[in-house]
Amino acid sequence: MNRITRRTAGLALLAGVAGLCMAPAAHAAGKKTLIVAEPVHSTGYLPLYVAIHHKFFPDNIEVKVITTEGGAAHTNAVLTKQAFAFIGGPEHNAFAKIKGAELRAVANVVDRGNVYYVAKAGLAPKPGQSMADFFKGKSIAVSFFGSTPNSITRYLLAEWKLDAKKDVVLKEMSNGAVIAAVKTGNADIGVTTEPILTRGIVQKIWGEPIYNIPKELGPYAYSTLNVRLDAIKEEPEVVAAFVKGVVKGLKLTYAEPDKAVAIAKKEFPTMSTGDLKATLDRSFADQMWSKDGMVSAESWKTGRMVVRNAGILKKDVAYDEIIDMQFVKAALAMK
């Protein structure tokens, strides 16, 4: 499904295709259709797509992905039972926890912060210039408040002693609009992900990243698969089958990258072979994906630090309150 078709389908589903949106799964012809809400269609989620294309789920389970752009739209789709799971930062589970809702991360997919900072063509830090000095006074195109790229941006600004309201101009928008904002000069700096990063480089809208989050922050529970706690309690066998399939997708992505690349070509048919190769080469080099689906204590510590230091998560939420690795452990124990 291409970018536009996928988003249109996602909006239609969330608008009220009741038969498909039945929680925790839609039932049709003896099958359960599990809807996974994603905030953007990204090569960062490739292992999930691999699991779907290679049919790593039982015959009675069909997994579909919909794109729901907007800060916490993917989380809300699960909270309102319009989707079985969402892929995104487990900090969203923490936000929900504080408000009285119970979500759990059941598998890790992206174990590095899939965020890159780019400067518009002709604008780049001078040799030896600090990021704080370079960012000060600049306009920054970033996804909506509540999204992980937005949280990371606010965290970095705080670390660099910059005021998000006074020292920079945050222009919050959909992920897909960042490239246009930088291209038209409405933003000096873009906060982006692959494959948009490579697209901007090829089109000479910006150059190579000026700040690479995967390398700077290390292990980071950036995009986990998250479900409602009641799904775990009421249909643990469904969650187990779902997680097992995702773990198989992660393992295949690393073990047989050529097969993963073939799936990427299907998911991103409009990308040139060269652009797609550059995108995936960067992802592999930056160790973007989890290799086994586990969310380590270290990776959540980084994620927690970002939202706490940025002032977005108002109080601590413990690992066990938002992350449940029982299904990953069971999948890994199987031969």
Question: Can you spell out the DSSP letters for 170-212?
Answer: EEEE-GGGHHHHHHTTS-SEEEE-TTHHHHHHHTTSB-S-SEE
pLDDT in tens, 22-61: 444 455 557 899 999 998 898 999 999 999 999 999 999 9
Contacts of 52 (CB under 8 A, 6+ apart): 63, 64, 65, 249
CA distances from 156 to 2, 43, 120, 235 (A): 33, 24, 19, 40
Contact 47/249 with Cβ under 8 angstroms?
yes
According to the CATH classification, is domain 3-113+218-333 in 1.10.510.10? no
Residue 30 pLDDT: 76
Q: Whole-angstrom Cα distance, residue 125 to residue 278?
A: 24
Contacts of 290 (CB under 8 A, 6+ apart): 47, 108, 109, 110, 111, 250
Give the pLDDT band of residue 194 (cuts 50, 70, 90).
confident
**Domain limits, the chain:** 3-113+218-333, 116-217
Contact 25/38 with Cβ under 8 angstroms?
no
Structure-model confidence comparison of residues 19 and 268, the more confident one: 268
- By C-alpha distance, which of 189, 168, 155 is closest to 304? 155
Q: Which of 15-19, 130-134, 274-278, 313-317 has the highest mean pLDDT?
A: 130-134
Residue 71 pLDDT: 65
Average pLDDT over residues 244-256: 97
Question: Of 8-12, 119-123, 325-329, where does mean pLDDT reach its minimum?
Answer: 8-12
pLDDT in tens, 64-115: 999 987 668 899 999 999 999 999 999 999 999 999 999 999 999 999 999 9
Q: Which fold has domain 116-217?
A: D-Maltodextrin-Binding Protein; domain 2 (3.40.190)
Q: Whole-angstrom Cα distance, residue 44 to residue 331?
A: 22
Q: 3-113+218-333 with 116-217: one CATH topology? A: yes
The per-residue b/e assignment along 4-15, b for 16 or more CB within 10 angstroms, e otherwise, is eebbebbeebbe
Q: What six digits make up the tokens of 60?
A: 């009675």
